[in-house]
C-alpha cells in the first residue's frame, strides 16, 4: 500500500478501523533502516562499546543492530572477526562519515553477499531451507561431491550451464545477483525493483530449467491398425533413433542414468518413470519386436 506522505503512512499504523478489520499494517524495514559498514574499528573493542561511542559522538545516528564482518585467516583458513562493523541505523539516509573519539571514519552501504545453496547449487537461498533435489557443485549431476570424494566429471555450472563449477564467481547468474545486491544497497530498493533495474542494463540471465517429460512433443493419434506413417509424424524418426541408440549401447548403469544420458538433464524418479513410458510408445510406433522390448525391460530391471 502506498501513501502520499510519510505522515499519512504513519497514521495508518494506528488506524483503529484497520485494526478492527484484522488488517496488520507495518512499514517495510528498508524504508526505516539502512545498513552501513564502518571500517578501521579495532577488533578488540566490544560491540557494546562501539555502539555507545558512535551514538555519543554522532547525535543523529541511532543504532538498532550491529555485528562484525568476518575475514579469512590465510594461515589457519578459518573465519575471524575483522575491523569492519556493519551498523543498522534508523532512517533512509546514509551519513558521509562517522566520528569515533578523534577519528573520522568513512562509511559505505552494506552489500549483502549472494546466497548460494550447497545442496542444489542454486542462488537465493541456503541449504538449510532447500527443498530441491541434490546436485553436484562440480558437474551439476544428481550426486554430491566433497573434499573427501571430489567429482572428476566435466565441470558444468548448475545455474547457467557454463563449463565451470557452480562455485565459480564468473557465472553470469552469480554476477547478476551480485549486481542486484549492490543496487539494493546503494539505491535502497527492494529486490524486485533492483532486479528490474539490473536486467534493463545487462538483460535477464535465466538458469537452465530441469527438463521433464512435458518438454517432449506429444505423440499423434494412431489409426485403428496402430500405424503412424513418417509423413504424419516426421520428428518421431529422430527421436526413435536417439532412444534406440541409447538402448543398444547397453545398461552400464542404473536405468535412471540411462534416461539422464538421453535427456542430458537431471531427472527425478517420477520424471524418469514417465519418460520410460514415452520411450516405449515411440518404440511401439516404429514396431519394435516384442522380444526386443522384453530384452530392454529385462536389462533395465537388472540394473534398477
pLDDT tens sequence across 87-145: 999 988 899 889 988 889 999 999 999 999 999 999 988 888 898 889 999 998 888 88
The lowest-confidence range among 15-19, 168-172, 175-179, 288-292 is: 288-292
From residue 141, alpha-carbon distances to 137, 156, 232, 245 in Å are: 8, 9, 37, 22
Nearest to 278 by CA among 233, 239, 238, 222: 239
Cell of 258: 540411462
Find the mean pLDDT for residues 21-33: 79
29: confidence class by pLDDT, cuts 50, 70, 90: confident
pLDDT at 32: 84
Contact criterion met (CB below 8 Å) for 88 and 101: no
211: confidence class by pLDDT, cuts 50, 70, 90: very low
Report the C-alpha gap between 301 and 206 in whole angstroms: 37
Mean pLDDT of the chain: 76
220: confidence class by pLDDT, cuts 50, 70, 90: very low
Instruction: Evaluate if residue 57 carries a pLDDT over 80.
Output: yes
Cell of 185: 544497497
Nearest to 70 by CA among 85, 60, 57, 56: 85
Q: Is the dihedral of CA 267, 270, 275, 276 positive or negative?
A: positive
Report the C-alpha gap between 161 and 178 in whole angstroms: 18
pLDDT at 285: 54
- pTM of the predicted model as reported, rounded to 2 decimal places: 0.60
Find the mean pLDDT for residues 296-304: 49
The 10s digit of each residue's pLDDT in 268-297 is: 666 666 766 766 666 565 554 445 545 554
Report the C-alpha gap between 213 and 140 in whole angstroms: 19
pLDDT at 225: 53
Identify any residues that bridge with 105 across adjacent strands, giving them in sequence order: 98
Q: At what angle do helices 235-248 and 255-263 cross, to 10 degrees?
A: 140
Report the C-alpha gap between 8 and 19 in whole angstroms: 16
Nearest to 227 by CA among 168, 158, 286, 304: 286
Give every CB contact of residue 197 below 8 A, 6+ residues apart in sequence.
183, 187, 189
For the chain, the structural domain boundaries read 1-31, 35-109, 127-202, 213-303
Report the C-alpha gap between 15 and 1 in whole angstroms: 14
Report the C-alpha gap between 39 and 29 in whole angstroms: 24
Amino acid at each position: 500500500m502506498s501513501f502520499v506522505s510519510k505522515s499519512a503512512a504513519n497514521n495508518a499504523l494506528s488506524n483503529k478501523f484497520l485494526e478492527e478489520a484484522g488488517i496488520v499494517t507495518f512499514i517495510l524495514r528498508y524504508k526505516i533502516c539502512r545498513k552501513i559498514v564502518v571500517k578501521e574499528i579495532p577488533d578488540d573493542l566490544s560491540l557494546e562499546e562501539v555502539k555507545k561511542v558512535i551514538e555519543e559522538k554522532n547525535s543523529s545516528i541511532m543504532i538498532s543492530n550491529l555485528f562484525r564482518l568476518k575475514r579469512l585467516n590465510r594461515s589457519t583458513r578459518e573465519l575471524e572477526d575483522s575491523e569492519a562493523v556493519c551498523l543498522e541505523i534508523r532512517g533512509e539516509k546514509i551519513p558521509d562519515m562517522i566520528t569515533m573519539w578523534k577519528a573520522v571514519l568513512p562509511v559505505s552501504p552494506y552489500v549483502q553477499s549472494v546466497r548460494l545453496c550447497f545442496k542444489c547449487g542454486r542462488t537465493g537461498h541456503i541449504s538449510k531451507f532447500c527443498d530441491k533435489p541434490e546436485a553436484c557443485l562440480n558437474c551439476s549431476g544428481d550426486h554430491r561431491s566433497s573434499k573427501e570424494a571430489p567429482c572428476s566429471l566435466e565441470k558444468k555450472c548448475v545455474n547457467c550451464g557454463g563449463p565451470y563449477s557452480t562455485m565459480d564467481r564468473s557465472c553470469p547468474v552469480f554476477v547478476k545477483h551480485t549486481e542486484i545486491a549492490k543496487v539494493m544497497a546503494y539505491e535502497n530498493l527492494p529486490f524486485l525493483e533492483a532486479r528490474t533495474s539490473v536486467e534493463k542494463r545487462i538483460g535477464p540471465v535465466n538458469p537452465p530449467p530441469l527438463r521433464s517429460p512435458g518438454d517432449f512433443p506429444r505423440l499423434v493419434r494412431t489409426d485403428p491398425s496402430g500405424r503412424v506413417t513418417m509423413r504424419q509424424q516426421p520428428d518421431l524418426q529422430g527421436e526413435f533413433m536417439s532412444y534406440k541408440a541409447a538402448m543398444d549401447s547397453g545398461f552400464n548403469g542404473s536405468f535412471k542414468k540411462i534416461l539422464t544420458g538421453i535427456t542430458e538433464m537431471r531427472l527425478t524418479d517420477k520424471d524418469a518413470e514417465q519418460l520410460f513410458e514415452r520411450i516405449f510408445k515411440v518404440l511401439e510406433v516404429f514396431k519394435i519386436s516384442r522380444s526386443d522390448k522384453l530384452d530392454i525391460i529385462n536389462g533395465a530391471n537388472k540394473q534398477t
